[in-house]
A and B are shown apart, each in its own frame.
Chain A
């Protein structure tokens, strides 16, 4: 180490730039409340008194420009699928998507005869975390958000990705 050894006081932290950026992005992601159906109520319960999401730094934002992560909560229909894509494109980078509930994951209970139901939101937007359940408990959604935080921590934004 040579030059740098024994130079810094206790209040200086040294880390890789990648990890620092990941750490800054992952804590306190603001979520875009895209509540569509029943899962939206569980998302609201997760944000309300008992399972408080704000203590983890997650604030609900209604505009896509101000949000980091889009929680697609509920069934996406064909009529709505085009709007989901548009809203995803309006979000600013870096952006992540959580598919909450079995309807957003793979069509849910409506997979068999639902002619108007999109069988999984990953057909129109790329999804990072899937939270199963019908509807998933607020604790499950919080676990999904924490898993997303781990994923963001491990991202290496500065290196060029292999094609």
Chain B
């Protein structure tokens, strides 16, 4: 490319970053237009990365109270939780879920149910998930019948220390949900009054829904895997 062309491309990219796409779209030469557009995309990406890096650099200096939530309800709820229970969020504010640390979960849950403006009185779904890299996670989908809003709370624990406070006293369906998650993943819920397996027999070995689960060969003398001799 000649240096004049390069200068022209740089000018058009500047105009594009400023928001003026008409001059770019008016270019007749298809090759030139595509070069300008790809350069523009690269420039935008670089600008976004720089902004994120700048935000990350400055955030440890700010206290968490200075991060203002956007208007998305999820971020507002996360902000309220962080205000009432400092140092409980384990991730930045985002639009889909609220990641918290397991230590204060029982108090947070009681507050979520009793606080009049939130009033999350129904635990809709409780999922366990194996994130890989030795991490397990429990996800709670909460919903309020009165205000008709909902949030998702995620608590990640490591496999070696998979303990989460139990919330079965707060939402009574938590009793069975937590037993099932324990049965499938091996996450222990401290404070659960009846902590035993739900779906599998009491003497089953292993936690099936973990990604590295190996089925045992026999159970009480009955062979488990499908025996394929005699086929073809």
A and B: direct contact (Cβ < 8 Å)? yes
Verify A78–B201 contact, CB threshold 8 A: yes
Scan A61-82; emit 1 where CB is below 8 A from any B CB, else 0: 0000000000000000011011
Contact of B222 among A107, A111, A112, A124 (CB under 8 A): A124
Min CB gap B227→A, angstroms: 7
Verify A119–B227 contact, CB threshold 8 A: yes
Contact of B223 among A79, A106, A112, A123 (CB under 8 A): A123
Give the distance in Å from the alpha carbon of A33 to the alpha carbon of B161 in the complex. 47
Chain B positions 182-232 with a Cβ under 8 Å from a chain A Cβ: 200-201, 208, 213, 215, 219-220, 222-227
Q: Does A116 contact B (CB under 8 A)?
A: yes
Give the distance in Å from the alpha carbon of A116 to the alpha carbon of B184 in the complex. 12
Hey, which bits of chain B sit against chain A, CB under 8 A?
200-201, 208, 213, 215, 219-220, 222-227
User: Which residues of the other chain, B, contact A81 by a CB distance below 8 angstroms?
Assistant: 222
User: Which residues of the other chain, A, contact B208 by a CB distance below 8 angstroms?
Assistant: 115-116
User: Which residues of the other chain, B, contact A107 by a CB distance below 8 angstroms?
Assistant: 226
Scan A120-157; emit 1 where CB is below 8 A from any B CB, else 0: 00011000000000000000000000000000000000
In addition to A78-B201, A78-B224, A116-B208, 7 A-B residue pairs with Cβ atoms within 8 Å of each other are: A78-B222, A79-B200, A111-B226, A115-B213, A115-B215, A118-B222, A119-B227
Q: Please name 19 pairs of A and B residues whose Cβ atoms are closer than 8 Å in the assembled complex, sorted by A.
A: A78-B201, A78-B219, A78-B224, A79-B200, A79-B201, A82-B220, A106-B226, A107-B226, A111-B226, A115-B208, A115-B215, A116-B208, A118-B222, A119-B225, A119-B226, A119-B227, A123-B222, A123-B223, A124-B222
Give the distance in Å from the alpha carbon of A81 to the alpha carbon of B201 in the complex. 12
User: Which residues of the other chain, B, contact A116 by a CB distance below 8 angstroms?
Assistant: 200, 208
User: Which residues of the other chain, A, contact B215 by a CB distance below 8 angstroms?
Assistant: 115
Q: B218's closest neighbor in chain A, by CB? A: A78
Q: A119's closest neighbor in chain B, by CB? A: B226
Give the distance in Å from the alpha carbon of A107 to the alpha carbon of B225 in the complex. 10
Q: A85's closest neighbor in chain B, by CB? A: B222
Verify A115–B226 contact, CB threshold 8 A: no
Scan A40-79; emit 1 where CB is below 8 A from any B CB, else 0: 0000000000000000000000000000000000000011
Give the distance in Å from the alpha carbon of A124 to the alpha carbon of B220 in the complex. 12
Min CB gap A80→B, angstroms: 10
User: Which residues of the other chain, B, contact A124 by a CB distance below 8 angstroms?
Assistant: 222
Give the distance in Å from the alpha carbon of A82 to the alpha carbon of B213 in the complex. 24
In the A-B complex, list the 8 residue pairs whose CB atoms are closest, starting with the nearest.
A115-B215, A119-B226, A78-B219, A79-B201, A111-B226, A81-B222, A115-B208, A107-B226
Q: A80's closest neighbor in chain B, by CB? A: B201
User: Which residues of the other chain, B, contact A82 by a CB distance below 8 angstroms?
Assistant: 220
User: Which residues of the other chain, B, contact A112 by a CB distance below 8 angstroms?
Assistant: 226
Give the distance in Å from the alpha carbon of A82 to the alpha carbon of B203 in the complex. 14
User: Which residues of the other chain, A, contact B219 by a CB distance below 8 angstroms?
Assistant: 78
Give the distance in Å from the alpha carbon of A101 to the alpha carbon of B176 in the complex. 31
Chain A positions 88-118 with a Cβ under 8 Å from a chain B Cβ: 106-107, 111-112, 115-116, 118
Min CB gap A84→B, angstroms: 11
Min CB gap A50→B, angstroms: 35
A111, A115, A116, A119: which has the most chain B beta carbons within 10 Å? A115
Min CB gap B85→A, angstroms: 40
Give the distance in Å from the alpha carbon of A81 to the alpha carbon of B219 in the complex. 10
